[in-house]
Chain A
């Protein structure tokens, strides 16, 4: 199929297109520069055109979601919507814990085409992939949890980075994972005994390995392999006042590690939901923002990127492999607590969260998130996330965008809506920045795609994937800086005019017109097959002793990943950029 997307106002930051009126040509699943006379014209004169949205960190598939839905029917009821009469989508259910089909409907209608599932334990990876099969319309890379894995801990302890490298290469294949995720390294393993680690240099009692060792080792291995994405790190001490120091140390601990020569991204570490990791103080009474120091570090260094984890003032559900933190929250709030310890690999915890604009701590967290948006100068170093659903469900992205684009709106919230800690305990009041559409495009498309290493998307250049979103906003006649327009922004960005994925129209005039199977994106390292086989033979006896399923039944077979995109990486030995 061929299309001419005609006369839209196009934002394509990677190719330096900043709101130019132009045509975008589509042939089959790619952007092209020439179409035949058969091409169908889609008139989008004056409308806002961007590459399809890319979410680099969300929780949409796998055991945590299942547990959440199972134990929170009250959240399911909140999101019920009967099947729509005038489009082809079915019913919706769930607010912070939408059902699989609902996740697909909501993201597509927002113009998103790629969404990363950020935490998959390999042992339950089949579950995540099975759920992906029930989510329509997205490309879904999954990040595989390694930060508390026993084989990893052993290799790090014994300083066997070659084995670790082969292990990661093999395990990504088994889990059909795309990248390396580290969550509270060593802390979730300590949780196996009801404990946690305190900071980057507190060794896990049994393994005698520290978070620092885990992060630096996995970063080295990630760069040696040349994986398209960097390590993706949820640093130690999440949600604890005083944790900004750990975050700062984590930023810094990898800075001398060399980046692989072949990768497109700039960073060697991606630190996720930094908002949750940026508090000063010793308790929730004297807590204040530590964002300024962290922002300063990010502005001065190029080896790291971050996403925010912006709070949105909702009743939502937190879920993370940082299980000890969830138990702390349970002790703090008394809300119903779920926990799941997963053998040899990780743990996970859940608890409902109520972020209120009248509650000082919620407001502090909200303001800290916004400080990052305001303070990080280069938008290519930051991505918009809510760590959905942890800080708020992903359907709040448009609302966040409306805050970022209007100083008037934000000031009004500070003056009238939110608790005074927003200005008293953070520097948010000192910023005076309004995001342009160009910058919004960067933090919701171009930068997450680049950080993920998915070069074929996040832009509209020749041969890019034809993933495009069009919104019913007349760019030249619309002033997003006006407070009175913020609801319109939210509404229009929630309901795209067109969502096109792989050259197919999935949404038209805010209605879903086509449902396609989501695509499993995973990373396949080539060139280490022999070493992988040797490692496998060595690992098998141990594996079969300490896991409770057989190694032979562990991997995700092809049954679960139709259709898939295999991102091939040629292993080239040590191949680093010179500093």
Chain B
């Protein structure tokens, strides 16, 4: 389907950063008419729809749920005061989300967590937290995407489908573009997809290796053995013929520069971080023969930024518990899903995240019983659960700020258009909450 180019605009702003997926494409042109974005150039379809964004799902003023259970518009002062008081009076608050806001806002959130003894956590807890655990167990051999563009002759995607989830990953960073040492772009590279399913990424790859769901651990171990020169007794492992595995490891071993990307299909299947453990070891082993690096395919445009900001401030990457006044991090103890499943939290605030979509049913049930706050731009399932709604602004469109791409390259995101009148940035909202909580603390003394 070919879309008609947009001609009816009066201003263009170049080199904007898309605030959707972890690709953080920073080459986007916004087309404006009467100070509204009417079109975009260079963005993929998901990115474009996110940026152009119709306003009908937009949260436009603060709301509080009344006694009849209906969300009612209110003033900022009332909504902020009430949120601050609920948070201040709670004993096990959780501040969750952060994947789609700026580092500047995240840092304010961390300060609030510190003074209120909250748990602060992000989407890692349900996505690549397992990968982070594996990095902590085994090691962390990574690269920026430009290394792949310029050098990689072999690229492996495992348990991830960027063609649908990170649409420009192959076209902008890894597969198709000309690289300094890969002048012919796509022709100079071998692309291999390992996935139980035949995905759109498999479709554009040179090789698709289908393996049995939940047998990643076996598969990667077999590859390690083959790399070490050992023989496999089995004719097939994880549903892949030994011969295919031998061919694969030969290609990987002979790469000049190999890059491996992995997704939730690895980090959230049966053996979870154990899968990633072996995968890292495989990459480490490969470096004896050739050059290999790896990277998790991070979902939202600033999940990586949250991990970085939280380590800068507290030392730990996610699931940080301030209940004792200093940070603690223990997966299973201080992570959101586990806390909710144990029914511990008595306050829950989600900032730029929708637990209503992301969390399992049993976990969500607890949210019905405790005060829940939403800080976000759009109406979503979580709005239906929220007692207070604080409407915020879109980073990279209405608000400036910093985000870190999946490979941790920092990007400054511009403010291009004005925010809706009665919305405020996450940073502003959190700063206001911080002030109010400090006030309440003083009154207590």
Interface residues of A, Cβ cutoff 8 Å to B:
63, 65-67, 69-73, 76, 79-83, 90-91, 93-94, 97-101, 123-124, 126-127, 130-131, 134, 150, 191-194, 206, 327, 330, 336-344, 350, 545-550, 552-553, 557, 559-560
Contacts and interface: CB of A to CB of B under 8 A. Distances in A.
Interface in B128-164: 132, 135-147, 149-151
B313 interface: yes
Given A341-B144, A553-B17, 11 more contacts: A70-B135, A123-B409, A124-B410, A127-B408, A339-B140, A339-B142, A340-B408, A341-B293, A344-B150, A350-B140, A546-B150
A342 B147 CA distance: 7
Contacts of A338: 135, 139-142
A550 B28 CA distance: 10
Given A123-B409, A124-B408, A69 B147 contact: no
Interface in B313-328: 313-317, 324-327
A193 B290 CA distance: 7
A134 B313 contact: yes
B141 A73 contact: no
A193 B326 CA distance: 43
23 contacts: A63-B408, A69-B316, A70-B132, A70-B140, A73-B136, A73-B316, A93-B315, A98-B315, A126-B412, A150-B180, A191-B291, A192-B291, A193-B291, A206-B181, A330-B284, A336-B139, A340-B408, A341-B147, A549-B411, A550-B15, A550-B26, A553-B17, A553-B412
Contact of B147 (A67, A98, A343, A553): A343
Name the 10 nearest CB pairs between A and B, nearest first: A343-B146, A76-B315, A194-B291, A91-B326, A338-B140, A341-B143, A69-B311, A93-B315, A126-B410, A548-B146
Contact of B144 (A67, A123, A126, A206): A123
A548 B178 CA distance: 11
B307 interface: yes
Given A93-B314, A194-B287, A343-B144, A72 B409 contact: no
A552 B143 CA distance: 22
Interface string B163-194: 00000000011000011110000000000000
A59 to B, nearest CB: 14
B137 A336 contact: yes
Interface string B7-36: 000000011010000000011000000000
B103 interface: yes
A557 B411 CA distance: 11
Contacts of A340: 140, 142-144, 408
A130 B151 contact: no
B256 interface: yes
B65 interface: no
A72 B150 CA distance: 30
A343 B149 contact: yes
B329 interface: yes
A549 B409 contact: yes
A552 B411 CA distance: 11
Given A93-B314, A99-B313, A127-B308, A552 B172 contact: no
A382 to B, nearest CB: 32
A546 B412 contact: no
Contacts of A70: 132, 135-136, 140, 307-308, 311, 317
Contacts of A90: 114
Contacts of B27: 550
Contacts of B412: 126, 553, 557, 559-560
B400 interface: yes
A131 B305 CA distance: 12
Contact of B139 (A80, A127, A337): A337
B244 interface: no
Contacts of B178: 545
Contacts of B135: 70-71, 338
B325 A91 contact: yes
Contact of B410 (A97, A100, A130, A342): A130
Contacts of B144: 123, 340-343, 548
Interface in B397-445: 400, 402, 404, 408-412
A127 B410 contact: yes
B142 A101 contact: no
A73 B402 contact: no
B257 A192 contact: yes
Contacts of A134: 107, 312-313
Contacts of A130: 103, 312, 402, 410
A545 B146 CA distance: 10
Given A339-B140, A552-B15, A192 B147 contact: yes
Contacts of B315: 69, 73, 76, 79, 93-94, 97-99
A98 B325 CA distance: 17
B29 to A, nearest CB: 11
Contacts of A124: 408-410
Nearest to A83: B325
A337 B141 contact: yes
Contacts of B140: 67, 70-71, 336-340, 350
Contacts of B314: 93, 99
A553 B411 contact: yes
A350 B145 CA distance: 20
Contact of A66 (B14, B138, B150, B408): B408
Contacts of A67: 140, 142
Nearest to B286: A194
A527 to B, nearest CB: 28
A173 to B, nearest CB: 16
A540 B103 CA distance: 28
A98 B314 CA distance: 9
B17, B26, B314, B324: most-surrounded residue (chain A CB, <10 A):
B314
B150 A343 contact: yes
A531 to B, nearest CB: 24
Nearest to A129: B410
A421 B249 CA distance: 44
B436 to A, nearest CB: 20
A82 B325 contact: yes
B141, B144, B284: most-surrounded residue (chain A CB, <10 A):
B144
Nearest to A194: B291
Contact of A91 (B147, B291, B327): B327
